[in-house]
Amino acid sequence: MNLLIKGGTIVNPKKQQHEVADILVKDGKIAAIGQNLSADGADVYDATGLIVTPGLIDMHTHLREPGQEAKEDFHSGTQAAAAGGFTRIATMANTKPVVDNAALVRGLQKQAELTGLVKVEFIGAVSKNLEGKELAEMGDMAEAGVVGFSDDGHYVESAAFMRRALEYSSMFNKPVIDHAEEVSLTHEGHMHEGFVAYEMGVKGRPAVAEDMAVARDLLLAQMTGGHIHIAHVSSKDTVDQIRAAKEKGIKVTCEVTAQHLSFTDEFLREYNPAFKMAPPIRSEDHRQALLEGVKDGTIDAIITDHAPHAEEEKDVEFCCAPNGFSGLETSLAAVLTHTYKTGILTLDEIVNLMSVRPAEIMGVDAGVLEVGKTADITVFSTDEEWTVDRNLFYTKGKTSPFDGMTLTGKAQLTVVDGNIVMKEGVVTQ
């Protein structure tokens, strides 16, 4: 199909473009960007008053396929992505079976192509079966097209093993994505260790558990020259460490979730399992440090850590509930509400964090609007107020800490390979 997006404000940081203009899409590619464009027979979308950006990219999700399709599958997960304005997402390896070999990667790629609405990248495991004992088929998986390696959900406890992983992954120019929490300090913890946890009588997960793990792996990255990517940063001291490591030239990148930018542990006082996640939402001083980190470029990407669970799993007592919730359909709105509307981030900075840098870190050809490039485009409003209703989610996992909250800003159009996959809140496929 041919598509003409008219009159939107194009925010295209990689081209230093921030202007009202039109985009013409033909045969899945961007054919023209300019003023007063026209095209006979093209579908016209009026984007007046809206923001038009390179397709949003989430480099950290859990689509649960294979093996846990009751929680999510490629179709439902990519429907949720389209609804949230994402044109490309990367899914983690901690499935059943674990994605630790090239044959499985290739099979899942084909399944995602057949049933998915947006583009799905795969992250292979660092270790076989996530056990931290034997390296997974990293070379074969790199050849098959994975964008990185991670034992996400598990900390690689052996420093020697992590060293080997960094050395090996560097041969393929792929990042090792690090779930950095020292397990001996977080065992049986359920939320941030601090004043609120003490008052609630809940065992905590101290921030120093993250700080210690990050310190070790930054040193290993410095030693090996490998690319370490710190997943879902939550601690203020971790932000300081990464900032210093970047100044020293260590090959490190990192990410933060929309929820860690939005909430503090004060929101957990009602023991709502929707707020339970790992790493935990921390106190206000940590949140402020995270906001400073996204503002000054220490933090490279904003992600969802979309982690859907079945209703019966999360609808239990707080300490019995698993970590995580479904975030693809609320992430953009949460970021706009809590960083753009508060004057912390500009739209250019948000697009850089949610499209440009994720594409660069994963090494995919995306994150820019340019003639001749594939037409992956997101259009969103910065002003629409809406109340989150989890019952309207496309994801199978209906749990969300944002449920019932009013957010400002929402995706209006999601275009993948020139095809509209979501229009004004309705997924079209």
User: What residues are annotated to the active site?
Assistant: 305
Q: Is 389 annotated as a binding residue?
A: no
Q: Which residues share a beta bridge with 89?
A: 58, 120
**8 Å CB contact between 170 and 224:** yes
Q: Is 315 annotated as a binding residue?
A: no
Neighbouring CB atoms inside 10 A of 80's CB total 30
The backbone torsions φ and ψ at residue 217, rounded to the nearest 5 degrees and listed phi first, read -80, -25
* Tokens matching residue 272: 């709502």
* Tokens matching residue 132: 């931290």
DSSP string, 392-409: G-SSS----TTTT-EEEE
Residue with tokens 């929680």: 71
How long is the chain? 429
Judged on CB neighbours under 10 Å (0-12, 13-18, 19+), 262 is buried
**8 Å CB contact between 81 and 378:** no
Q: Is 152 annotated as a binding residue?
A: yes
* Tokens matching residue 280: 């935990």
Pairing of strands 377-387, 51-54: antiparallel
**8 Å CB contact between 123 and 177:** yes
Q: Is 220 annotated as a binding residue?
A: no
Residue with tokens 């020139």: 418
Q: Is 106 annotated as a binding residue?
A: no
From residue 86, give the alpha-carbon distance in Å to each of 55, 196, 214, 242, 427: 6, 35, 29, 27, 12
Q: Is 37 annotated as a binding residue?
A: no
End-to-end Cα separation, the chain, in angstroms: 15
| Residues of each annotated binding site for substrate | 62-64, 94, 309
| Residues of each annotated binding site for Zn(2+) | 60, 62, 152, 179, 232, 305
| Residues of each annotated binding site | 60, 62-64, 94, 152, 179, 232, 305, 309
